[in-house]
Amino acid sequence: MGDFWAISLSDGRFGCAIVTDLKASGSGSRSNFIAGLVDWVGTVPPIAAEASGRHVFAQGMTRIEAITQTGSKVLGSVRLPWGFKVAPNWHDFRVGTVHNVWGWKVLPGLIEQHLAGR
C-alpha cells in the first residue's frame, strides 16, 4: 500500500494514483488492488512529495494492468494519510455488496472528469 504511479492524460499532463489497499491472499491477490485517484495534476510525473498527503477523491478495485499496460511504472511509495479510510465494503464480498470496479483503461477519464468539475 502506498505505491503510486503517473497516469497520462489526454492533454499531455499527468494525474496520479496510489494503491490504497491489497487483498492479502486468495484469488486475485497478486493482480487486484484498490486504487485511489489523487487530487493532483502536473506537466511531469509526480514525485513522492507531491503524492504524499494528497486528497484521494475516488477509489475503486482495478488490476495490475492499470500500471503495466499503460506504459507507466511505480514511481515510489508514500504513507497513506493518518486516518485514511479505504473504499467502503472492500473486504465484503457477500451477494448484493456494491463496489467500484475500474477497468485499467478508465483511470485517465475519471481524473479528467474530476478536473473538469473544478
Q: What is the DSSP letter of 101?
A: B
85 has pLDDT over 90 = no
Model confidence pLDDT, tens digit, residues 102-117: 998 999 999 999 988 7
φ, ψ at 39 (rounded to 5°): -75, 75
Per-residue pLDDT band for 47 (boundaries 50, 70, 90) equals: very high
Cα(12)–Cα(44) distance, integer angstroms: 9
Measure CA of the first residue to CA of the last residue in the chain; give whole Å: 28
pLDDT of 104: 86
d(CA 84, CA 18): 12
Rounded Cα distance between 1 and 36, Å, is 10
pTM of the shown model: 0.87
Taking the C-alpha atoms of residue 103 and residue 110, their distance in angstroms, rounded to an integer, is 11
